[in-house]
Structure 1
Amino acid sequence: MKIEGAAASRERFIAHALQDLGPLRTHLAQERARAEAMEQARRAAAAQARAAQQEFARAVGPVTPLRAHGTVLLRPEPPAPLALQHQRDEQRVLHEALSDDFDVGSLLDTDETLSFRRPGIGPEVTRRLRQGAWTLQAELDLHGLRTEEARAALGQFLRTALQRGLRCVRIVHGKGLGSPGKSPVLKGRVHSWLVQKNEVLAFVQARADEGGAGALVVLLRAQRQHRRDGAENFE
């Protein structure tokens, strides 16, 4: 009886094991089918490529392959050099162009605002400039800068304004209340520097709501535009 019971247990174990192998056999069959499908697709693609190559060969006729010359490694282009010397030359020219020794007093109009207009510019230009006939297009604030810093900043500002085609700008130099002796040193320097720039046609003291005695409104020369009568256009 014990022998028969052991045999029956083995048979049940084998039956359960065979049942567990069913999903495995199904999975293996699916993997084989997938692999066969991929192989068939690869063979079909290879056959299609060979057919296309043969068709191209028939179309172009006999050809002679070029000899292999190897691979050429091209060096990347070097970055553009910085024009340091050109920048230093510009700074030197700018420094020389804006002198602190220039006597500007005789060129300023003798009014309370010490306005300036270049020879050939009529008094109506400074009058209209004072009235705000031109729209302010940019501003430079020189507050807190030392003389050399202010000189460089003003030169760069004017150069950029001219490149952009600006006509009317404001220069804020301050009233000098923080200077030793409460003397507006930078104000006089700015007057002198602006007069030395041929691109500056005129300037006037800003209105009270635009900075008053601590700022200037500056009219710059436009690109060479002429009216029919030959007079320069200040509009």
Structure 2
Amino acid sequence: MSKLSEEDKLLFAQAIDGVVPIKTSEKAVLPRPKLKAKRPKASHIEPIESHCFESVETVTAHQSLLFHKKGLRLQDLSRLRKGEFSIQARLDLHGDTEDVAQQRLLQFIQQAYLAKYRFALIIHGKGYNSDTDYPVLKNQVNQTLRGLPQIVAFCSAQQKDGGTGAVYVLLKAH
């Protein structure tokens, strides 16, 4: 039994109309971590600022996300929101548990930052198969990214890249 509305199904069909598979890719493909490890090594991940979690409200499946740190140029934020950049790294968290998703997200951001990538796409899904009334992974990504020092901004993706089930991420240059 699908929890997708007819409108969502129609939007998806319209969004993928004419799409063909990519034959080659220059995007980073990061391996899934071994499930035995509980947490990433602290020396590889900069700490999350815990105060960022306090003011973040729970969002729904269709709510758009938008976050940016002070100092970001409006042109860069506009470009991010429109998806006007080449995605250099992509992470799909569909089907992951909260713990695994958190570990993979932290590792992904750290690896993308070390590779000097600026733009990434994180697919968290809309939580239609969640046991809760809200999308667990979407809210987890929203909270976690706000606390990472490598993140300059993020926002919900354009429909062609997942809409409110994914976020574009702008990483800090170094």
Q: TM-score, normalised by structure 1?
A: 0.50
Bigger drift between 113-122 and 204-213 goes to: 113-122
Residues 101, 135 of structure 1: alpha-carbon distance in 2 compared, 3 angstrom cutoff: closer
1:152 aligns with 2:103: yes
Give a deviation string over 1:59-111, Cα, whole Å, max 9, x none.
xxxxxxxxxxxxxxxxxxxxxxxxxxxx97725885963759812438xxxxx
Which ranges in structure 1 are unaligned for 5 or more consecutive residues?
Answer: 1-86, 107-111, 224-235
Q: Could you tell me how far apart the structure 1 residues matched to 2:149 and 2:40 are? A: 20
Structure 2 Cα separation of the partners of residues 154 and 147 of structure 1: 10
> Bigger radius of gyration, 1 or 2?
1
**Secondary structure at 1:105's aligned position in 2?**
coil
Q: Which residue of 1 aligns with 2:164?
A: 213
Counterpart residue number, 2:87 = 136
- Whole-Å Cα distance in 2 between the matches of residues 121 and 181 of structure 1? 35
In the alignment, what sits opposite 2:151? 200
Q: Against the structure 1 CA distance between its residues 104 and 140, is the aligned structure 2 distance closer, same or farther, given a 3 Å change threshold? A: farther
Q: Separation in 1 of the partners of 2:79 and 2:40?
A: 37
Instruction: Say if 1:145 and 1:104 are closer, same or farther in 2 by CA, change over 3 A.
Output: farther
How far apart, CA to CA, are the structure 1 residues paired with 2:144 and 2:46? 10
1:81-96 pair list within 5 angstroms: 90-91=41-42, 94=45
Cα separation, 2, equivalents of 1:155 and 1:96: 10
| 1:39-71, Cα deviation, whole Å (9 max, x unpaired) | xxxxxxxxxxxxxxxxxxxxxxxxxxxxxxxxx
The runs of 4+ residues in structure 1 deviating greater than 4 Å are 91-96, 98-101
Query: Quick one: distance in 2 between partners of 1:92 and 1:159?
Result: 11
Distance (Å, rounded) in 2 between the aligned partners of 1:159 and 1:95: 8
Asked if 2 retains the 8 angstrom alpha-carbon contact of 1:142 and 1:171, the reply is yes
Q: What's the C-alpha RMSD, in Å, of the aligned pairs?
A: 2.8
Q: Which amino acid aligns with 2:74?
A: P
- C-alpha distance in 2 between matches for 1:146 and 1:95: 22
Give the drift of 1:163.
Answer: 1.3
Cα offset for 1:179? 0.1
Structure with the larger strand share:
2
Larger fraction in helix: 1
Relative contact order higher in (CA < 8 Å, ≥ 6 apart): 2
Number of residues of Structure 1 aligned to a counterpart in Structure 2 = 132
- Residue matched to 1:114: 65
Structure 2 residue corresponding to 1:187, chosen from 123, 126, 138: 138
Q: Which amino acid aligns with 1:138?
A: A
Q: What is the TM-score of this pair, normalised by structure 2?
A: 0.66
